[in-house]
Amino acid sequence: MQKYNFFRPLIILLVAFATNNLAKLVCAAFGVDPETTESIAIGAMVLAALFTYTRLNRNRANKK
C-alpha cells in the first residue's frame, strides 16, 4: 500500500479557497451584485479544484 500524501488534499483546498476569494474580489471590484458574485466565485472554485485534481493525478500517473 502506498503512503497517503497529506499535501494533495491540502493543495486542492488551498487552490479552491484562493480562487473563491480572488473571484469574489474581482467581481466586487467590477461592481457585480452579491448573489451573482457568490455564484461566479463558487463556479470558479469548483473549476479550479477539478483542474488541480486532474493535474495532480496526471503527474502521479506519469511517475509510475
Radius of gyration of the chain (CA): 15
Contact (Cβ atoms closer than 8 angstroms) between residue 44 and residue 31: no
At 6 the pLDDT is 85
**What pTM did the predictor assign?**
0.81
Q: Would you say the C-alpha torsion 13, 14, 16, 17 has a positive or negative sign?
A: positive
Contact (Cβ atoms closer than 8 angstroms) between residue 36 and residue 27: yes
Contact (Cβ atoms closer than 8 angstroms) between residue 37 and residue 45: no
Per-residue pLDDT of the chain (64 residues; tens, 9 = 90+): 577 788 999 999 999 999 999 999 999 999 999 999 999 999 999 999 999 999 988 866 676 6
